Homo-oligomer: A and B are copies of this chain.
């Protein structure tokens, strides 16, 4: 918790600058100096706010991924419940494929897999994302007259499909067919993990 407003602003500008630098250079190839230059501060300011680049990286990832989670929750909350088909589509669109953020997450994943502490942090975050998304899909499917058989399994499947197809979309950004197949795969998964209700 930052003590003063001044401190908080500096800290935030450093985080924002780091986001850009990491996206451009990769976390591994980034330096404290690059981050400071981008933010318009000197290294003195940096070390007054963080003890290392690693610490900043963790702080950055936590802040941004928490914000994304909030965005998703907000987007899902505003979905029209009367058109379940469209609702599902909207929900899928609510988890966008962001180039820069994807690169950072990929590196953070690799980083976390090397560090047991970080691994647990990341696993918990994945779980939170899953739990935030899941109810919306379950509800939408319910309105379509379908019951989800194994919620946990559906949640994991949706996250996996999102992650796995993101790479494909980013590798072929101009290929609309790839995006279409991504959509279709989501729909197929939703279908496979739910069954029609017998009573209307």
Contact = CB atoms under 8 A, between A and B. Distances in A.
Interface of A: 24, 26-30, 99, 102-104, 106-107, 109-114, 119, 122-123, 126, 152-153, 156-157, 159-165, 167-168, 170-172, 178, 181-182, 184-185, 188-189, 191-193
Given A110-B26, A192-B192, A164 B159 contact: yes
Nearest to A105: B110
A170 B113 contact: yes
Nearest to A27: B28
Which of A113, A123, A178, A193 gathers most chain B CB within 10 Å? A113
A169 B106 CA distance: 15
**Closest 6 pairs between A and B when the two form their complex, measured CB to CB:** A28-B28, A160-B164, A164-B164, A188-B192, A163-B164, A106-B110
Contacts of A161: 160-161, 164
Contacts of A126: 168, 171
Contacts of A157: 181, 185, 188
A104 B104 CA distance: 14
Contacts of A123: 171-172
A178 to B, nearest CB: 7
A167 B178 contact: no
